[in-house]
Structure 1
Protein backbone atom coordinates (compact mmCIF):
# COMPACT_ATOMS: atom_id res chain seq x y z
CA UNK A 1 0.00 0.00 0.00
CA UNK A 2 1.28 3.48 -0.84
CA UNK A 3 1.81 6.38 1.54
CA UNK A 4 -0.83 8.22 -0.48
CA UNK A 5 -3.48 5.71 0.53
CA UNK A 6 -2.57 6.05 4.20
CA UNK A 7 -2.86 9.83 3.88
CA UNK A 8 -6.11 9.64 1.92
CA UNK A 9 -7.85 7.42 4.46
CA UNK A 10 -6.64 9.50 7.41
CA UNK A 11 -7.53 12.83 5.80
CA UNK A 12 -11.03 11.62 4.96
CA UNK A 13 -11.68 10.76 8.62
CA UNK A 14 -9.73 13.60 10.19
CA UNK A 15 -12.79 15.73 11.21
CA UNK A 16 -14.28 12.70 12.98
CA UNK A 17 -10.97 11.77 14.63
CA UNK A 18 -10.37 15.34 15.74
CA UNK A 19 -13.84 15.53 17.27
CA UNK A 20 -13.32 12.29 19.23
CA UNK A 21 -9.99 13.46 20.63
CA UNK A 22 -11.21 16.98 21.41
CA UNK A 23 -14.19 15.63 23.35
CA UNK A 24 -11.87 13.38 25.37
CA UNK A 25 -9.23 16.07 26.04
CA UNK A 26 -11.04 19.40 25.86
CA UNK A 27 -7.96 20.85 24.18
CA UNK A 28 -7.58 21.85 20.54
CA UNK A 29 -3.78 22.05 20.66
CA UNK A 30 -3.40 18.70 22.41
CA UNK A 31 -5.85 17.17 19.93
CA UNK A 32 -3.70 18.35 17.05
CA UNK A 33 -0.65 16.77 18.70
CA UNK A 34 -2.50 13.48 19.22
CA UNK A 35 -3.58 13.38 15.57
CA UNK A 36 -0.05 14.08 14.38
CA UNK A 37 1.38 11.31 16.55
CA UNK A 38 -1.41 8.94 15.55
CA UNK A 39 -0.79 9.57 11.86
CA UNK A 40 2.88 8.66 12.25
CA UNK A 41 1.80 5.37 13.82
CA UNK A 42 -0.86 4.87 11.14
CA UNK A 43 1.71 5.39 8.36
CA UNK A 44 3.52 2.21 9.49
CA UNK A 45 0.39 0.04 9.50
CA UNK A 46 -0.04 -2.65 6.85
CA UNK A 47 -3.39 -1.67 5.35
CA UNK A 48 -4.01 -5.23 4.25
CA UNK A 49 -4.57 -6.06 7.95
CA UNK A 50 -7.14 -3.27 8.47
CA UNK A 51 -10.71 -4.46 8.06
CA UNK A 52 -12.46 -1.25 9.11
CA UNK A 53 -10.45 1.96 8.78
CA UNK A 54 -12.85 4.08 10.81
CA UNK A 55 -12.87 1.71 13.80
CA UNK A 56 -9.11 1.16 13.60
CA UNK A 57 -8.28 4.86 13.58
CA UNK A 58 -10.84 5.64 16.28
CA UNK A 59 -9.20 3.06 18.54
CA UNK A 60 -5.76 4.42 17.72
CA UNK A 61 -6.53 8.07 18.49
CA UNK A 62 -8.52 7.15 21.62
CA UNK A 63 -5.56 5.24 23.08
CA UNK A 64 -3.27 8.19 22.38
CA UNK A 65 -5.78 10.67 23.82
CA UNK A 66 -6.14 8.63 27.01
CA UNK A 67 -2.37 8.62 27.47
CA UNK A 68 -2.36 12.42 27.24
CA UNK A 69 -5.37 12.82 29.53
CA UNK A 70 -3.87 10.64 32.25
CA UNK A 71 -0.52 12.43 32.01
CA UNK A 72 -2.18 15.85 32.32
CA UNK A 73 -4.34 14.99 35.34
CA UNK A 74 -1.80 16.34 37.84
CA UNK A 75 -1.36 19.60 35.89
CA UNK A 76 -5.10 20.18 36.00
CA UNK A 77 -5.21 19.56 39.76
CA UNK A 78 -2.55 22.24 40.24
CA UNK A 79 -4.16 24.70 37.83
CA UNK A 80 -4.69 28.21 39.19
CA UNK A 81 -8.38 29.13 39.26
CA UNK A 82 -11.16 27.51 37.22
CA UNK A 83 -10.14 25.16 34.41
CA UNK A 84 -12.16 25.39 31.19
CA UNK A 85 -11.71 23.53 27.92
CA UNK A 86 -10.03 25.37 25.06
CA UNK A 87 -12.58 27.16 22.86
CA UNK A 88 -13.23 25.41 19.56
CA UNK A 89 -13.71 27.89 16.72
CA UNK A 90 -16.20 26.54 14.18
CA UNK A 91 -17.45 27.67 10.84
CA UNK A 92 -20.84 29.32 11.34
CA UNK A 93 -23.56 26.70 11.94
CA UNK A 94 -21.01 23.86 11.60
CA UNK A 95 -22.97 21.53 13.89
CA UNK A 96 -26.39 23.13 13.77
CA UNK A 97 -28.02 20.32 11.77
CA UNK A 98 -26.82 17.62 14.21
CA UNK A 99 -28.21 18.26 17.69
CA UNK A 100 -26.23 15.44 19.32
CA UNK A 101 -22.97 16.65 17.79
CA UNK A 102 -23.73 20.23 18.77
CA UNK A 103 -24.41 19.26 22.39
CA UNK A 104 -21.34 17.03 22.58
CA UNK A 105 -18.94 19.91 21.82
CA UNK A 106 -20.79 22.51 23.89
CA UNK A 107 -18.80 24.07 26.69
CA UNK A 108 -21.41 22.92 29.21
CA UNK A 109 -21.03 19.29 28.14
CA UNK A 110 -17.24 19.44 28.07
CA UNK A 111 -17.20 20.91 31.58
CA UNK A 112 -19.50 18.10 32.70
CA UNK A 113 -17.23 15.48 31.09
CA UNK A 114 -14.37 16.84 33.21
CA UNK A 115 -16.09 15.24 36.23
CA UNK A 116 -15.67 11.74 34.75
CA UNK A 117 -12.61 9.54 35.05
CA UNK A 118 -10.48 9.26 31.88
CA UNK A 119 -11.90 5.81 31.06
CA UNK A 120 -15.48 6.93 31.71
CA UNK A 121 -15.00 9.95 29.50
CA UNK A 122 -13.57 7.97 26.59
CA UNK A 123 -16.23 5.27 26.85
CA UNK A 124 -19.05 7.81 27.07
CA UNK A 125 -17.79 9.77 24.05
CA UNK A 126 -17.25 6.69 21.88
CA UNK A 127 -20.54 5.05 22.82
CA UNK A 128 -23.05 7.86 23.38
CA UNK A 129 -21.81 10.38 20.82
CA UNK A 130 -20.26 8.26 18.08
CA UNK A 131 -22.10 4.97 18.53
CA UNK A 132 -19.14 2.61 18.46
CA UNK A 133 -19.70 -0.99 19.51
CA UNK A 134 -18.55 -2.31 22.86
CA UNK A 135 -15.88 -4.53 21.30
CA UNK A 136 -14.24 -1.58 19.53
CA UNK A 137 -14.40 0.50 22.70
CA UNK A 138 -12.94 -2.34 24.77
CA UNK A 139 -9.93 -2.49 22.45
CA UNK A 140 -9.55 1.29 22.57
CA UNK A 141 -9.50 1.56 26.37
CA UNK A 142 -7.85 -1.78 27.16
CA UNK A 143 -10.72 -3.31 29.11
CA UNK A 144 -12.98 -6.32 28.73
CA UNK A 145 -16.33 -5.91 27.01
CA UNK A 146 -18.12 -6.62 30.30
CA UNK A 147 -16.08 -3.95 32.08
CA UNK A 148 -16.77 -1.44 29.31
CA UNK A 149 -20.51 -2.06 29.61
CA UNK A 150 -20.31 -1.26 33.32
CA UNK A 151 -18.23 1.86 32.71
CA UNK A 152 -20.66 3.01 30.00
CA UNK A 153 -23.64 2.55 32.33
CA UNK A 154 -21.93 4.41 35.17
CA UNK A 155 -20.84 7.29 32.91
CA UNK A 156 -24.27 7.58 31.29
CA UNK A 157 -26.01 7.81 34.67
CA UNK A 158 -23.50 10.40 35.87
CA UNK A 159 -24.01 12.60 32.82
CA UNK A 160 -27.79 12.26 32.74
CA UNK A 161 -28.02 13.24 36.41
CA UNK A 162 -26.08 16.45 35.84
CA UNK A 163 -26.77 17.55 32.29
CA UNK A 164 -29.07 20.30 31.20
CA UNK A 165 -31.05 19.22 28.20
CA UNK A 166 -29.71 20.87 25.07
CA UNK A 167 -32.47 23.05 23.68
CA UNK A 168 -30.78 25.44 21.29
CA UNK A 169 -32.44 28.79 20.81
CA UNK A 170 -33.42 29.50 17.25
CA UNK A 171 -30.97 31.50 15.18
CA UNK A 172 -33.06 34.66 15.25
CA UNK A 173 -33.33 34.65 19.06
CA UNK A 174 -29.64 33.91 19.48
CA UNK A 175 -28.66 36.72 17.14
CA UNK A 176 -31.04 39.19 18.80
CA UNK A 177 -29.89 38.47 22.37
CA UNK A 178 -26.20 38.44 21.43
CA UNK A 179 -26.51 41.79 19.65
CA UNK A 180 -28.45 43.27 22.57
CA UNK A 181 -25.75 42.06 24.93
CA UNK A 182 -22.96 43.56 22.84
CA UNK A 183 -24.77 46.91 22.69
CA UNK A 184 -25.47 46.98 26.43
CA UNK A 185 -21.96 45.87 27.42
CA UNK A 186 -20.09 48.25 25.14
CA UNK A 187 -22.24 51.29 25.97
CA UNK A 188 -22.29 50.75 29.73
CA UNK A 189 -26.04 50.11 29.83
CA UNK A 190 -26.35 48.42 33.22
CA UNK A 191 -30.15 48.22 33.12
CA UNK A 192 -29.98 46.64 29.68
CA UNK A 193 -27.45 44.08 30.88
CA UNK A 194 -29.52 43.12 33.91
CA UNK A 195 -32.57 42.60 31.70
CA UNK A 196 -30.63 40.11 29.56
CA UNK A 197 -29.16 38.08 32.42
CA UNK A 198 -30.89 35.19 34.15
CA UNK A 199 -31.14 35.75 37.94
CA UNK A 200 -28.75 32.84 38.60
CA UNK A 201 -26.38 33.54 35.69
CA UNK A 202 -22.84 32.22 36.23
CA UNK A 203 -19.57 33.79 35.09
CA UNK A 204 -16.66 31.31 34.95
CA UNK A 205 -13.24 32.64 33.98
CA UNK A 206 -10.13 30.66 33.06
CA UNK A 207 -6.85 32.54 33.23
CA UNK A 208 -4.44 29.97 34.65
CA UNK A 209 -2.98 32.82 36.68
CA UNK A 210 -1.67 34.40 33.46
CA UNK A 211 -4.30 37.14 33.08
CA UNK A 212 -6.54 39.16 35.35
CA UNK A 213 -9.69 37.15 36.06
CA UNK A 214 -11.88 35.98 38.91
CA UNK A 215 -10.50 32.69 40.24
CA UNK A 216 -13.90 31.47 41.37
CA UNK A 217 -17.21 31.48 39.49
CA UNK A 218 -19.30 34.62 39.96
CA UNK A 219 -23.01 33.92 40.50
CA UNK A 220 -26.00 36.23 40.21
CA UNK A 221 -27.15 38.85 37.73
CA UNK A 222 -25.93 41.92 39.67
CA UNK A 223 -22.49 40.47 40.39
CA UNK A 224 -22.00 39.25 36.81
CA UNK A 225 -23.19 42.60 35.45
CA UNK A 226 -20.57 44.32 37.60
CA UNK A 227 -17.87 42.08 36.11
CA UNK A 228 -19.07 42.88 32.59
CA UNK A 229 -19.22 46.61 33.25
CA UNK A 230 -15.63 46.51 34.44
CA UNK A 231 -14.45 44.56 31.41
CA UNK A 232 -16.23 46.68 28.82
CA UNK A 233 -15.99 50.03 30.59
CA UNK A 234 -15.83 53.07 28.33
CA UNK A 235 -12.55 54.94 28.16
CA UNK A 236 -10.50 51.75 28.28
CA UNK A 237 -6.94 52.36 26.99
CA UNK A 238 -6.29 51.21 23.44
CA UNK A 239 -8.71 50.10 20.80
CA UNK A 240 -10.84 47.17 21.93
CA UNK A 241 -12.11 45.14 18.98
CA UNK A 242 -15.00 42.75 19.42
CA UNK A 243 -15.84 40.05 16.89
CA UNK A 244 -18.77 37.69 17.10
CA UNK A 245 -17.90 34.06 16.26
CA UNK A 246 -19.16 30.52 16.77
CA UNK A 247 -17.23 28.58 19.41
CA UNK A 248 -18.42 25.14 20.49
CA UNK A 249 -21.66 25.80 18.62
CA UNK A 250 -22.35 28.68 21.01
CA UNK A 251 -22.34 32.46 20.38
CA UNK A 252 -18.93 33.79 21.36
CA UNK A 253 -17.15 37.12 21.43
CA UNK A 254 -13.46 37.47 20.63
CA UNK A 255 -11.90 40.49 22.33
CA UNK A 256 -8.62 41.81 21.06
CA UNK A 257 -6.53 44.97 21.40
CA UNK A 258 -2.87 44.84 20.57
CA UNK A 259 -3.24 41.09 21.03
CA UNK A 260 -6.01 38.56 21.53
CA UNK A 261 -7.26 39.10 25.07
CA UNK A 262 -10.19 36.76 25.62
CA UNK A 263 -12.93 34.60 24.21
CA UNK A 264 -16.32 34.79 25.91
CA UNK A 265 -18.84 32.03 25.21
CA UNK A 266 -22.49 32.80 25.92
CA UNK A 267 -25.19 30.27 26.81
CA UNK A 268 -28.81 31.27 26.29
CA UNK A 269 -31.91 29.53 27.66
CA UNK A 270 -35.50 30.74 27.87
CA UNK A 271 -34.54 34.08 26.35
CA UNK A 272 -31.91 34.88 29.01
CA UNK A 273 -28.15 34.50 29.26
CA UNK A 274 -27.47 31.74 31.79
CA UNK A 275 -23.71 31.21 31.53
CA UNK A 276 -20.57 33.02 30.46
CA UNK A 277 -17.37 31.08 29.90
CA UNK A 278 -14.45 33.51 29.79
CA UNK A 279 -11.20 32.03 28.49
CA UNK A 280 -8.35 34.46 29.20
CA UNK A 281 -5.36 32.12 29.52
CA UNK A 282 -3.23 33.13 26.50
CA UNK A 283 -2.10 29.52 26.04
CA UNK A 284 -5.71 28.49 25.43
CA UNK A 285 -6.31 31.24 22.88
CA UNK A 286 -3.65 30.04 20.43
CA UNK A 287 -6.06 27.77 18.57
CA UNK A 288 -8.62 30.52 17.96
CA UNK A 289 -7.03 31.38 14.63
CA UNK A 290 -8.89 29.26 12.10
CA UNK A 291 -12.17 27.35 12.24
CA UNK A 292 -12.04 23.57 12.63
CA UNK A 293 -14.21 20.93 11.04
CA UNK A 294 -16.04 18.48 13.28
CA UNK A 295 -17.96 15.40 12.34
CA UNK A 296 -19.84 12.46 13.79
Structure 2
Protein backbone atom coordinates (compact mmCIF):
# COMPACT_ATOMS: atom_id res chain seq x y z
CA UNK A 1 0.00 0.00 0.00
CA UNK A 2 2.80 2.42 0.91
CA UNK A 3 4.54 1.55 -2.34
CA UNK A 4 1.44 2.49 -4.34
CA UNK A 5 1.20 5.80 -2.47
CA UNK A 6 4.85 6.54 -3.11
CA UNK A 7 4.41 5.78 -6.80
CA UNK A 8 1.32 8.02 -6.93
CA UNK A 9 3.19 10.85 -5.20
CA UNK A 10 6.10 10.55 -7.64
CA UNK A 11 3.70 10.52 -10.58
CA UNK A 12 2.02 13.69 -9.34
CA UNK A 13 5.36 15.44 -8.78
CA UNK A 14 6.30 14.77 -12.39
CA UNK A 15 3.29 16.89 -13.42
CA UNK A 16 3.50 19.59 -10.72
CA UNK A 17 5.46 22.20 -12.69
CA UNK A 18 3.10 21.99 -15.65
CA UNK A 19 0.03 22.13 -13.40
CA UNK A 20 1.37 25.26 -11.66
CA UNK A 21 2.04 26.89 -15.05
CA UNK A 22 -1.53 26.12 -16.14
CA UNK A 23 -3.11 27.39 -12.92
CA UNK A 24 -1.02 30.56 -12.87
CA UNK A 25 -1.92 31.46 -16.46
CA UNK A 26 -5.59 31.01 -15.64
CA UNK A 27 -5.59 32.80 -12.27
CA UNK A 28 -2.86 35.45 -12.53
CA UNK A 29 -1.88 34.64 -8.95
CA UNK A 30 1.05 32.48 -7.90
CA UNK A 31 -0.34 31.93 -4.39
CA UNK A 32 -3.72 30.80 -5.72
CA UNK A 33 -2.01 28.64 -8.32
CA UNK A 34 -0.06 26.80 -5.62
CA UNK A 35 -3.24 26.31 -3.57
CA UNK A 36 -4.99 24.95 -6.66
CA UNK A 37 -2.20 22.47 -7.37
CA UNK A 38 -2.36 21.32 -3.75
CA UNK A 39 -6.13 20.82 -4.06
CA UNK A 40 -5.49 18.79 -7.21
CA UNK A 41 -3.01 16.64 -5.28
CA UNK A 42 -5.66 15.88 -2.65
CA UNK A 43 -8.05 14.75 -5.39
CA UNK A 44 -5.31 12.69 -6.99
CA UNK A 45 -4.47 11.14 -3.63
CA UNK A 46 -8.14 10.32 -3.07
CA UNK A 47 -8.63 8.61 -6.44
CA UNK A 48 -9.01 4.85 -6.33
CA UNK A 49 -6.03 2.82 -7.60
CA UNK A 50 -6.41 2.24 -11.34
CA UNK A 51 -9.16 4.87 -11.65
CA UNK A 52 -6.95 7.24 -13.65
CA UNK A 53 -5.81 5.75 -16.94
CA UNK A 54 -4.09 8.89 -18.26
CA UNK A 55 -2.72 10.96 -15.34
CA UNK A 56 -1.63 14.00 -17.39
CA UNK A 57 -4.98 14.80 -19.06
CA UNK A 58 -6.88 13.87 -15.88
CA UNK A 59 -4.82 16.27 -13.75
CA UNK A 60 -5.04 19.03 -16.37
CA UNK A 61 -8.82 18.74 -16.29
CA UNK A 62 -8.94 18.76 -12.49
CA UNK A 63 -6.74 21.87 -12.28
CA UNK A 64 -8.63 23.68 -15.04
CA UNK A 65 -11.96 23.06 -13.33
CA UNK A 66 -10.61 24.08 -9.92
CA UNK A 67 -9.41 27.30 -11.57
CA UNK A 68 -12.83 27.89 -13.13
CA UNK A 69 -14.38 27.69 -9.66
CA UNK A 70 -11.79 30.09 -8.24
CA UNK A 71 -12.20 32.55 -11.11
CA UNK A 72 -15.93 32.82 -10.51
CA UNK A 73 -15.38 34.03 -6.94
CA UNK A 74 -12.25 36.01 -7.85
CA UNK A 75 -14.19 38.20 -10.30
CA UNK A 76 -16.40 39.39 -7.45
CA UNK A 77 -13.41 40.05 -5.17
CA UNK A 78 -11.54 41.99 -7.83
CA UNK A 79 -14.52 44.25 -8.46
CA UNK A 80 -14.06 45.44 -4.85
CA UNK A 81 -10.26 45.60 -5.04
CA UNK A 82 -8.90 48.97 -3.84
CA UNK A 83 -7.34 50.73 -6.82
CA UNK A 84 -5.80 48.91 -9.77
CA UNK A 85 -5.56 45.11 -9.78
CA UNK A 86 -2.35 43.77 -11.37
CA UNK A 87 -1.34 40.11 -11.75
CA UNK A 88 1.07 38.59 -9.28
CA UNK A 89 4.61 38.27 -10.70
CA UNK A 90 6.44 34.97 -10.88
CA UNK A 91 10.00 33.97 -11.62
CA UNK A 92 10.10 33.03 -15.29
CA UNK A 93 11.67 29.63 -14.58
CA UNK A 94 8.56 28.58 -12.62
CA UNK A 95 6.50 28.80 -15.81
CA UNK A 96 8.33 26.07 -17.69
CA UNK A 97 9.76 26.26 -21.21
CA UNK A 98 8.39 29.09 -23.35
CA UNK A 99 9.73 28.36 -26.81
CA UNK A 100 6.70 29.69 -28.68
CA UNK A 101 5.64 33.35 -28.84
CA UNK A 102 2.13 32.35 -27.70
CA UNK A 103 3.54 30.82 -24.54
CA UNK A 104 5.50 33.96 -23.68
CA UNK A 105 2.56 36.21 -24.49
CA UNK A 106 0.24 34.21 -22.21
CA UNK A 107 2.26 35.15 -19.10
CA UNK A 108 2.95 38.81 -19.93
CA UNK A 109 1.61 41.35 -17.46
CA UNK A 110 -0.39 43.00 -20.24
CA UNK A 111 -2.15 39.80 -21.33
CA UNK A 112 -2.79 38.56 -17.79
CA UNK A 113 -4.37 41.92 -17.00
CA UNK A 114 -6.52 41.83 -20.15
CA UNK A 115 -7.53 38.26 -19.29
CA UNK A 116 -9.69 39.78 -16.56
CA UNK A 117 -12.21 40.83 -19.20
CA UNK A 118 -12.73 37.21 -20.32
CA UNK A 119 -15.28 34.84 -18.85
CA UNK A 120 -13.72 31.90 -16.96
CA UNK A 121 -14.46 29.38 -19.79
CA UNK A 122 -13.03 31.79 -22.40
CA UNK A 123 -9.93 32.21 -20.30
CA UNK A 124 -9.49 28.45 -19.97
CA UNK A 125 -9.91 27.94 -23.72
CA UNK A 126 -7.32 30.62 -24.57
CA UNK A 127 -4.76 29.34 -22.05
CA UNK A 128 -5.13 25.70 -23.05
CA UNK A 129 -4.92 26.49 -26.76
CA UNK A 130 -2.18 29.15 -26.80
CA UNK A 131 0.07 28.04 -23.95
CA UNK A 132 -0.39 24.26 -24.08
CA UNK A 133 -1.31 23.71 -27.76
CA UNK A 134 -4.54 21.86 -26.92
CA UNK A 135 -6.82 21.04 -29.82
CA UNK A 136 -10.41 22.29 -29.70
CA UNK A 137 -11.50 18.70 -29.12
CA UNK A 138 -9.19 18.40 -26.10
CA UNK A 139 -10.43 21.74 -24.74
CA UNK A 140 -13.99 20.47 -25.12
CA UNK A 141 -13.04 17.44 -23.03
CA UNK A 142 -11.68 19.66 -20.25
CA UNK A 143 -14.64 22.04 -20.25
CA UNK A 144 -17.31 19.36 -20.80
CA UNK A 145 -18.73 21.06 -23.87
CA UNK A 146 -18.95 20.35 -27.57
CA UNK A 147 -15.99 20.90 -29.88
CA UNK A 148 -17.92 23.66 -31.65
CA UNK A 149 -18.56 25.40 -28.33
CA UNK A 150 -14.88 25.12 -27.37
CA UNK A 151 -13.89 26.64 -30.71
CA UNK A 152 -16.33 29.50 -30.17
CA UNK A 153 -15.05 30.13 -26.63
CA UNK A 154 -11.49 30.33 -27.91
CA UNK A 155 -12.24 32.69 -30.79
CA UNK A 156 -14.38 34.91 -28.58
CA UNK A 157 -11.63 35.07 -25.95
CA UNK A 158 -8.96 35.88 -28.54
CA UNK A 159 -11.16 38.66 -29.94
CA UNK A 160 -11.54 40.24 -26.50
CA UNK A 161 -7.78 40.15 -26.07
CA UNK A 162 -7.00 41.56 -29.51
CA UNK A 163 -9.54 44.36 -29.02
CA UNK A 164 -7.61 45.55 -25.96
CA UNK A 165 -4.10 44.75 -27.19
CA UNK A 166 -1.53 47.50 -27.85
CA UNK A 167 -0.58 48.07 -31.50
CA UNK A 168 2.12 45.71 -32.85
CA UNK A 169 5.75 46.73 -32.98
CA UNK A 170 7.20 46.16 -29.51
CA UNK A 171 10.89 45.79 -28.70
CA UNK A 172 12.83 42.65 -27.87
CA UNK A 173 14.02 41.67 -24.38
CA UNK A 174 17.53 43.09 -24.85
CA UNK A 175 16.21 46.47 -26.00
CA UNK A 176 13.68 46.44 -23.17
CA UNK A 177 16.42 45.82 -20.58
CA UNK A 178 18.53 48.67 -22.00
CA UNK A 179 15.53 50.99 -21.93
CA UNK A 180 14.82 49.99 -18.35
CA UNK A 181 18.37 50.97 -17.36
CA UNK A 182 18.04 54.40 -18.99
CA UNK A 183 14.63 54.82 -17.43
CA UNK A 184 15.94 54.00 -13.94
CA UNK A 185 18.86 56.39 -14.30
CA UNK A 186 16.69 59.29 -15.44
CA UNK A 187 14.05 58.69 -12.76
CA UNK A 188 16.54 58.27 -9.91
CA UNK A 189 18.39 61.42 -11.00
CA UNK A 190 15.10 63.33 -11.13
CA UNK A 191 15.99 64.26 -14.72
CA UNK A 192 12.49 65.21 -15.83
CA UNK A 193 13.50 66.17 -19.38
CA UNK A 194 15.36 62.90 -19.96
CA UNK A 195 12.50 60.92 -18.45
CA UNK A 196 9.93 62.57 -20.69
CA UNK A 197 12.01 61.76 -23.76
CA UNK A 198 11.72 58.05 -22.97
CA UNK A 199 7.91 58.18 -22.77
CA UNK A 200 5.29 58.16 -25.52
CA UNK A 201 2.45 60.68 -25.48
CA UNK A 202 -0.05 57.91 -24.64
CA UNK A 203 1.94 56.32 -21.80
CA UNK A 204 -0.08 55.02 -18.83
CA UNK A 205 1.05 54.12 -15.30
CA UNK A 206 -0.81 51.60 -13.15
CA UNK A 207 0.09 50.98 -9.50
CA UNK A 208 -1.17 48.17 -7.27
CA UNK A 209 -0.90 48.64 -3.53
CA UNK A 210 -3.88 46.44 -2.73
CA UNK A 211 -4.92 48.81 0.03
CA UNK A 212 -1.92 47.57 2.04
CA UNK A 213 0.61 50.27 1.13
CA UNK A 214 0.48 53.70 -0.46
CA UNK A 215 -0.03 53.63 -4.24
CA UNK A 216 -1.90 55.64 -6.86
CA UNK A 217 -5.52 54.49 -6.93
CA UNK A 218 -6.11 55.67 -10.50
CA UNK A 219 -4.01 55.32 -13.64
CA UNK A 220 -1.73 58.21 -14.59
CA UNK A 221 -2.01 59.19 -18.25
CA UNK A 222 0.25 61.13 -20.60
CA UNK A 223 3.94 61.92 -20.93
CA UNK A 224 4.12 65.04 -18.74
CA UNK A 225 1.92 63.68 -15.93
CA UNK A 226 3.81 60.38 -15.94
CA UNK A 227 7.24 62.02 -15.80
CA UNK A 228 6.19 64.19 -12.85
CA UNK A 229 4.53 61.28 -11.08
CA UNK A 230 7.61 59.06 -11.43
CA UNK A 231 10.06 61.79 -10.43
CA UNK A 232 7.98 62.45 -7.31
CA UNK A 233 7.73 58.74 -6.60
CA UNK A 234 11.50 58.29 -6.70
CA UNK A 235 12.01 61.38 -4.53
CA UNK A 236 9.54 60.22 -1.85
CA UNK A 237 10.04 56.47 -1.73
CA UNK A 238 13.57 55.58 -2.78
CA UNK A 239 15.61 56.61 0.28
CA UNK A 240 17.28 53.45 1.55
CA UNK A 241 16.05 51.41 -1.40
CA UNK A 242 18.37 49.16 -3.40
CA UNK A 243 17.37 48.64 -7.02
CA UNK A 244 18.02 45.56 -9.11
CA UNK A 245 17.12 44.64 -12.67
CA UNK A 246 15.77 41.08 -12.78
CA UNK A 247 13.24 39.06 -14.76
CA UNK A 248 9.63 38.12 -14.13
CA UNK A 249 7.00 36.70 -16.47
CA UNK A 250 9.54 36.54 -19.27
CA UNK A 251 10.40 40.24 -19.24
CA UNK A 252 12.93 42.53 -17.46
CA UNK A 253 11.63 44.13 -14.26
CA UNK A 254 12.97 46.60 -11.73
CA UNK A 255 13.02 45.38 -8.13
CA UNK A 256 13.13 47.71 -5.13
CA UNK A 257 14.55 46.18 -1.93
CA UNK A 258 14.49 47.68 1.56
CA UNK A 259 16.88 45.51 3.48
CA UNK A 260 15.79 41.94 2.75
CA UNK A 261 12.21 42.93 1.92
CA UNK A 262 11.03 43.33 -1.66
CA UNK A 263 8.81 46.44 -1.56
CA UNK A 264 8.23 47.15 -5.24
CA UNK A 265 8.42 45.61 -8.67
CA UNK A 266 8.18 47.75 -11.78
CA UNK A 267 7.61 46.56 -15.33
CA UNK A 268 8.08 48.80 -18.36
CA UNK A 269 6.35 48.06 -21.64
CA UNK A 270 7.87 49.69 -24.70
CA UNK A 271 7.25 50.16 -28.40
CA UNK A 272 9.49 51.62 -31.11
CA UNK A 273 8.65 55.18 -29.98
CA UNK A 274 9.39 54.66 -26.28
CA UNK A 275 7.66 53.57 -23.08
CA UNK A 276 3.95 52.90 -23.56
CA UNK A 277 3.00 51.42 -20.18
CA UNK A 278 4.39 51.12 -16.67
CA UNK A 279 3.09 48.73 -14.04
CA UNK A 280 4.19 49.12 -10.42
CA UNK A 281 3.43 46.38 -7.91
CA UNK A 282 3.66 47.37 -4.24
CA UNK A 283 1.13 45.03 -2.64
CA UNK A 284 3.31 43.00 -0.24
CA UNK A 285 1.03 39.96 -0.54
CA UNK A 286 1.72 39.80 -4.28
CA UNK A 287 5.46 40.30 -3.92
CA UNK A 288 6.08 37.59 -1.31
CA UNK A 289 6.07 34.57 -3.65
CA UNK A 290 8.37 36.21 -6.20
CA UNK A 291 10.75 37.45 -3.49
CA UNK A 292 11.11 33.94 -2.02
CA UNK A 293 11.82 32.37 -5.42
CA UNK A 294 14.19 35.16 -6.45
CA UNK A 295 16.23 34.79 -3.24
CA UNK A 296 16.37 31.01 -3.68
CA UNK A 297 17.53 31.31 -7.28
CA UNK A 298 20.15 33.89 -6.30
CA UNK A 299 21.52 31.64 -3.54
CA UNK A 300 21.61 28.59 -5.81
CA UNK A 301 23.21 30.62 -8.61
Same fold (TM over 0.5): yes
Aligned-pair CA distance for 1:11? 2.2
Aligned-pair CA distance for 1:223? 0.8
User: How far apart are the structure 1 equivalents of 2:94 and 2:4?
Assistant: 36
Aligned-pair CA distance for 1:271? 5.3
Which residue of the partner structure matches residue 247 of structure 1? 248
Aligned-pair CA distance for 1:75? 1.0
- What is the CA deviation profile of residues 88-144 of structure 1, one whole-angstrom value per residue up to 9, with x for unaligned ones? 222499766432211110011111111001111111111232122334323433333
Which residue of the partner structure matches residue 154 of structure 2? 152
1:63-142 aligned within 5 A? 63-91=65-93, 97-142=99-144
Higher relative CO (Cα under 8 Å, sequence separation at least 6) belongs to 1
Give the total of aligned pairs. Answer: 292
Aligned-pair CA distance for 1:22? 0.8
SS of 1:286 mapped into structure 2: helix
* Cα pair 2:253 2:268 within 8 Å, conserved: yes
User: How far apart are the structure 2 equivalents of 1:62 and 1:177?
Assistant: 37
Unpaired segments ≥5 residues, structure 2: none
* Cα pair 1:238 1:257 within 8 Å, conserved: no
Q: RMSD value over aligned CA atoms? A: 2.6
1:185-224 aligned within 5 A? 185-224=187-226
User: How far apart are the structure 1 equivalents of 2:252 and 2:272?
Assistant: 15
TM-score normalised by L of structure 2: 0.88
Aligned-pair CA distance for 1:195? 1.4
* Cα pair 1:92 1:245 within 8 Å, conserved: no
Which residue of the partner structure matches residue 174 of structure 2? 172
* Cα pair 2:173 2:252 within 8 Å, conserved: no
* Cα pair 1:26 1:86 within 8 Å, conserved: yes
User: How far apart are the structure 1 equivalents of 2:233 and 2:211?
Assistant: 17
User: How far apart are the structure 2 equivalents of 1:224 and 1:237?
Assistant: 17
Q: Is residue 41 from structure 1 mapped to residue 39 from structure 2 by the alignment?
A: no
User: How far apart are the structure 2 equivalents of 1:199 and 1:85?
Assistant: 25
Pick the aligned partner of 1:59 from 58, 61, 85.
Answer: 61
Which residue of the partner structure matches residue 20 of structure 2? 18
